[in-house]
Structure 1
Amino acid sequence: MAERGKANQNLNLQSQSPIIKRHSHQSIGQCLTHISSPNELTFTFNPPHHLNQTTPATTKFLVNYLPLLQNPPLHLAILVAADSDFVIDAPTEKRKSGDAGLESVKEKLRCAGYLWQAFTAEQMHRNGFGRRVFRLYEEWQPDTMSNQETSLRETAKIYIIRTKYTKEELLDPDRAQQYKRPPGTPNPKKKDLFAIFMEALRDYGPPFDRQCYVAGLILDSHYDPAMDLIRGHAALGGGADHIRLGIFGSHLTHAWPRCLEQVVSCFQDDTNITQDLANDNGESYTWWKCCNIGIGAMLHEVGHALTLPHSKSGIMSRGYNNLNRTFTVKEPHRNTPVLPQDENGAHWHRCDVMRLRFHPCFRLATDPSNDHDYKHAYPTFWPVDDSVLVKCMAGISLIEVKLDDQFQTHFEFPDEQPHEWRLQIDHIKKQVGWKNGQRLDIAIITTGQEEHTLVDAHSFLETHRNLYPDIGLALKSGTLGSSGGSKFEVIFPKSNAHVSKVRINSGIFLDGLKFYWSNKKNVSIGGKGGSASKFELTKREKLVSLMVKAGIYVDGIEFKTNLGRTSGWRGGMGGCELTVLSAPEGHEMVGIHGTAGSLIDSIGIIYRPVQH
């Protein structure tokens, strides 16, 4: 990170142990693998006096780095109040030395961003995916990643995002995530800090007016000893519309390194914090722990912004308490060197790694291109015999299994991502030790970062099989859309009549459907709003599939027959990507089901084995 562009960089390192020195080489080398190419790195080891060796040992590496500018970057941003004084909570000596002002905080956030990169690249490498990693948005400006020089380079840009809210408003206890309102006190329902940060990003304009990923630090966070509360702080990550955001307060930033040369010392500083500084979660009572938890917990929120949920272990649990062990081989109060196997929680869980492998921020030029028509296709569930068939045109990258909301195991597809996969429910229940009454949930993650969970798989199989008077045993697919409204089932006639016509009422949503049989009977579902269109079928035709877009409601639909004719698209184009609902191989569509009120809320199909 010390140089962007063609460079020769010398690092003069000293150590008390050859073992520690070798590990130091590796750790710093990990940090330096993201420098713009080409870069010649020279490592000089000055041996301690007791080795009776006076000649320094020198090793050179040539590092080539090609920035993948086609990938969306992670933007680093600092939110400041309308009347901010641009100073963070910090020990007195750091305030006096100027280490608590805005410029210092910008340098600290920049350094943290590159440490996140180094950590993640190493984790991806250990998991067999090379050193792929997200990129930071960079500009040509004075670089602060080395205190040896401050020349102009491509380096991470820090956006200063000013909000219209005053410091007093940001520090309102009701907005602090950790505030516990006294019992019986009404909730004022004020806009929270995450929403305030999102609003400020939208007001800022480009590049936050399109799909973007943002790591946001709240500058004016302040620890209130009287309330024992970190005001103006929230640790949250997620997204709305086109912005994916992870936020964290600045209350621990005083302990972060400003440049590469300070990384080791900041992770080793065992100075106790004073009572006027935050001891976040009761785990930040020394400077090096503040450094660990501040940088690591913010990375946790960035993980949420990159679509990662909480995981069984690692950074997306509370593994960031050991983040220092990735970058140093010594730890305060530890008498032995820290080896890679001692890093404990400082890792991305394998499921996190699998999600990141297919994230657009992590793509390599050599990766197969995504089919943009199905990039965000939704996975659908289809009961078949004693199993559930999962179908998704985007491809399935990961399957996670939980019992009573606790992670148990996963199945991954790193090389080839199937469009269909059969879940043997009985086998999975045995594998995870399922007991009667437990809820077995199976989450499907696609290559397009979409996720859909089969809730209570055991009950799903039981409730999606029915005996019908005219057709016998039939199966019901999972539905697209929400579960609001009243349930409906429509079984198409099979003997003395056939579907002769479908009336579709639609506007920006699918309002309602009316099916006409050739024997003059009909059935209606949903409402009669929007405009009506009719799709007529011949005696030789039958409905075989639906193409659907759905979100909270069913946005639009298209019917298709066995002769290849379609009704044409009816409704709006909101919701998730187009999803085709067609019976699994060896089965035929015999009806539809779902929920409806004044609109069609959700829809699926009913099917049975082909009758010979």
Structure 2
Amino acid sequence: MFKLHNINDNEDIYQRCLLITGQCEGSNRQDTFVQVDTTNESGIETFPSHHWPLCKGWFKCLVLLTPGKNIVKLSTDDGKHTTELSLTHIPLTNAPPLHLAIMVAKDSPLLVDCPPNKLGFIFSAHSDLSAVVAKMRMAACMWQALTAEEMRAAGLGRRAFRLEDEWGSNTLSERGFRSPQSNKAMGSTIKVHIVRTEKTVAELRDANIAQQNEKGRDRDGLHRIFSNALKAHGAPFQSHCRPVVAGLILDSAFDQQQNMILGHAALGAHNPDGLSLGIFGSHLTYSWPRFLEEVPACLLDTTLPGDTVGNDNGECATNWEACAIGQGAFLHEVGHAFSAPHTTGIMARGYSRDWTKCFLSIVAYSEHLKRKDEIPITNQTSHLCHWDLEDMLRFFNLPHFQLPSDTPRSSACPTAILDDDTDPGRLIVRCEAGIASAKLNGDDVETAPISNPTKELALDVNELEQKMKYKKKPLELRILSMNGKHTNFPVWSLLSSRTYIPIHGTGIRLLKKGVSRPETYDNDWPWVVMLKKRNRKGSMSRAYKIDVRVGCALDGAEVYFEDGTKIPCGPRGEHGADPDMGGHQARKIKIPRNVEIAKVLVAHHEGSTLSGLRLVLSNGKAIGALNKNGSNSTITPLVPDDGHKIVGFYGNSGEFGLCSEFGIITAPRDVEIPDSVYDMPELQNLPKNGNERGHRSKKRKVSRSNYDSGTEGNGSSSEDRDEGYDCESDADEF
């Protein structure tokens, strides 16, 4: 009894080549096969019978469809089990195709590398131009079937690129291939353009443009030569046509003396406004199938290629491995042409050992790896030959992959906001295109199925903050949209952008007020310093002195505690070795018991770092320099709200340690703050302890992530420069 896993009766199929997977539950043998017969509604054969391995009841097979109704019959070799499918093939002739092209030198012999074991009785069987054309057609069909199945499995619908058609000899079947003069061999087939270049064979095989030559002076040259040949060829390869092309270089060859594959490059580039091209050499085409009936044999051929052909990347130890590398690596370059970067799966060489698993239920021994993987290949078999979801979404939004049922999709990027109107608060991500996936530092976040994506994702702020306590690096939320775009949101930055800090389980909110420049950079150091801290004995120590560090600009401040330690309002060093703070106008002010910091004055100039800082105590004493420079200087008072008192400072320190942000943290005056608050990582300025606190080298505008784990370092008090309380002459009272 047949059970099909990826297809239903009466489906509409839009691509020519279809991959079917399933089981025959009554067959447990390892060496049997499934026969595939295809007819039209009248019972007339539309494609010859072909066989596919059936291993312990599991099978995979490729089916080539013709436009209109196709009756596909599957049967076991003993005839005991059969099933039929009615499938309607609807070619999407209005969609732009993937063009197939073979570039030949102007003096090309029109032959490719071929080991003796593949030549057989007919010298040109696998090595002449007609054989290569047939192999390229079949490879493109396999690419198409694999891509459509990957899309379907991901929930994006069975979709793939279209292949350009022409009227000609049908080489997709062994029967047609062997009878080119037969009328039955003529029909609508996949067009392969033969493109001449003005370069000679010798010029194409110049070692300086061989991509695998580490000493080559122009290793990208073959891509440029192929592009120029296509443009010179004319339609449909002009830039205004925006073609996407899979290009095979016919005149590649292995040079035994140099031990190098010449005339070959694996390169791909996407140009949305012009020609997009992925190229590959012909040096492995000897191992590719020419027609559908030959696919299983080529993917299971353990014959050793020998010394006359190149062992590409050292992975082509058998003919089947050469086939996997050749077809898979070429598809990788076509992926680049369709805009895919290096991600995972196929775009990370996942095809090298697992190509066969996409098409068959059995695999052959790998001479390269000296192993044979377990069989049968089932739905649960893990392998790496997949399209990454991000790649599929890129394809999904190209016109080459559109289906008639598709509706226009928004190109907008997702946005994230904090919703403080609920308890607990929520971090809400909205995306008009739909959210395909979400990850927190690489861990999946549950979202709606991709087949029916949600446009909004809400994350519990309490849960995010709990995660941040136990992470050694800042949390980052990565959203992949259905339009193929991904956006990274630094969770620390989003939460720290709030004007309050919730103290969970208490109902207390600490408020924030500050002054900052318009943007921050990824080498900024975010900090928080509270006016209490836990000492080594576990009890609380209060801040009794503050050193305000002002030079030509605001360097920051240093907070001294009664346990003999100090913490800078600025960058920390490793293991407590904090960098020296500048500030030729630095002054210290003592905070007696029962005296509070009443307000803070911050001087700043528009668009630049902060220029000065002044602290005013509740007893009227004040100290600090504001660096007023005429009318372009602004002095902002930071004063607690009614019923609140200042309990700490926060900010950012940017280039050269100068403050780009300085603010106050306040708490309700009539509420006792639990000591546990001062243990919160987000309320501490923690040193590195030898571990990098995020990326701090490249300078670019970003939203800041916030605080990370570490331990507090000791700091000995330097000689006091000033203990007075006289107001600076350039300070105004507010």
Aligned residues: percent identity? 32
What whole-Å deviation, never above 9, does each CA across 1:449-493 have from its counterpart, x for those lacking one?
556667xx4797799999xxx994576599xxxxxxxxxx977xx
State the Cα distance separating 1:298 from its structure 2 match: 1.2
Q: Contact conserved, 2:209 with 2:217, CA < 8 A, in 1?
A: no
State the Cα distance separating 1:192 from its structure 2 match: 1.8
Mapped pair 1:168 → 2:202: yes
1:325 counterpart (357, 363, 368): 357
1:220 counterpart (251, 256, 262): 251
> Superposed, which structure 2 residues align to 1:511-526 within 5 Å?
none
1:272 counterpart (282, 304, 311): 304
| AA partner of residue 427 (structure 1) | L
Identify the residue that residue 388 of structure 2 maps to in structure 1: 349
State the Cα distance separating 1:261 from its structure 2 match: 0.5
Identify the residue that residue 72 of structure 1 maps to in structure 2: 96
Give the distance between the partners of 1:146 and 1:198, measured in 2 at CA.
Answer: 31
State the Cα distance separating 1:270 from its structure 2 match: 0.9
Give the distance between the partners of 1:412 and 1:248, measured in 2 at CA.
Answer: 39
Q: Contact conserved, 1:75 with 1:136, CA < 8 A, in 2?
A: yes
Identify the residue that residue 32 of structure 1 maps to in structure 2: 63
Identify the residue that residue 366 of structure 1 maps to in structure 2: 405
State the Cα distance separating 1:264 from its structure 2 match: 0.7
State the Cα distance separating 1:153 from its structure 2 match: 2.6
Identify the residue that residue 558 of structure 1 maps to in structure 2: none
1:435 counterpart (472, 476, 480): 472
What whole-Å deviation, never above 9, does each CA across 1:372-397 have from its counterpart, x for those lacking one?
xxx5x567899999999878776665
| AA partner of residue 279 (structure 2) | I
Give the distance between the partners of 1:156 and 1:302, measured in 2 at CA.
Answer: 17
Give the distance between the partners of 2:260 and 2:462, measured in 1 at CA.
Answer: 47
2:336 counterpart (288, 296, 304): 304
Give the distance between the partners of 1:137 and 1:433, measured in 2 at CA.
Answer: 55
Q: 1:432 to 1:215 in 2, by over 3 A?
A: farther
2:171 counterpart (144, 149, 154): 144
Give the distance between the partners of 1:350 and 1:279, measured in 2 at CA.
Answer: 31
State the Cα distance separating 1:152 from its structure 2 match: 2.7
Q: Contact conserved, 2:340 with 2:347, CA < 8 A, in 1?
A: no
Identify the residue that residue 277 of structure 2 maps to in structure 1: 245
3-state SS of paired residue (2:193) = strand
State the Cα distance separating 1:196 from its structure 2 match: 2.1
Q: Max radius of gyration: which structure?
A: 2
| AA partner of residue 127 (structure 1) | A
Q: Contact conserved, 2:350 with 2:386, CA < 8 A, in 1?
A: no
- Normalising by structure 2, we get a TM-score of 0.53
Identify the residue that residue 177 of structure 1 maps to in structure 2: 211
Q: 1:191 to 1:337 in 2, by over 3 A?
A: closer
Give the distance between the partners of 1:156 and 1:10, measured in 2 at CA.
Answer: 15
Give the distance between the partners of 1:217 and 1:266, measured in 2 at CA.
Answer: 19
Q: 1:316 to 1:603 in 2, by over 3 A?
A: closer
Mapped pair 1:46 → 2:70: no
| AA partner of residue 143 (structure 1) | N
What is the Cα-based RMSD across aligned positions, in Å? 4.6
In structure 2, list runs of 5 or more residues that go unmatched: 1-15, 18-37, 177-183, 366-371, 500-512, 522-604, 608-630, 633-699, 704-734
Q: Contact conserved, 1:4 with 1:155, CA < 8 A, in 2?
A: no
The number of aligned residues is 462
State the Cα distance separating 1:203 from its structure 2 match: 2.2
Which moves more between the two structures, 388-397 or 346-355? 388-397
| AA partner of residue 205 (structure 1) | G
Mapped pair 1:110 → 2:144: no
Q: 1:347 to 1:106 in 2, by over 3 A?
A: same
What whole-Å deviation, never above 9, does each CA across 1:498-555 have from its counterpart, x for those lacking one?
xxxxxxxxxxxxxxxxxxxxxx99xxxxxxxxxxxxxxxxxxxxxxxxxxxxxxxxxx
Identify the residue that residue 157 of structure 1 maps to in structure 2: 191
Q: Contact conserved, 1:100 with 1:254, CA < 8 A, in 2?
A: yes
3-state SS of paired residue (1:324) = helix
| AA partner of residue 87 (structure 1) | L
Q: 1:465 to 1:45 in 2, by over 3 A?
A: closer
Identify the residue that residue 55 of structure 2 maps to in structure 1: 20
3-state SS of paired residue (2:111) = coil
Identify the residue that residue 107 of structure 2 maps to in structure 1: 83
| AA partner of residue 78 (structure 1) | I
State the Cα distance separating 1:315 from its structure 2 match: 5.4
Q: Contact conserved, 1:176 with 1:232, CA < 8 A, in 2?
A: yes
In structure 1, list runs of 5 or more residues that go unmatched: 48-54, 182-186, 479-488, 492-519, 522-601, 606-612
3-state SS of paired residue (1:341) = coil
Give the distance between the partners of 2:222 and 2:464, measured in 1 at CA.
Answer: 45
- Normalising by structure 1, we get a TM-score of 0.63
Give the distance between the partners of 1:425 and 1:281, measured in 2 at CA.
Answer: 50
Give the distance between the partners of 1:362 and 1:130, measured in 2 at CA.
Answer: 10
State the Cα distance separating 1:77 from its structure 2 match: 1.3
Give the distance between the partners of 2:400 and 2:230, measured in 1 at CA.
Answer: 20
State the Cα distance separating 1:291 from its structure 2 match: 0.9
Q: 1:319 to 1:188 in 2, by over 3 A?
A: closer
Q: Contact conserved, 2:39 with 2:46, CA < 8 A, in 1?
A: no
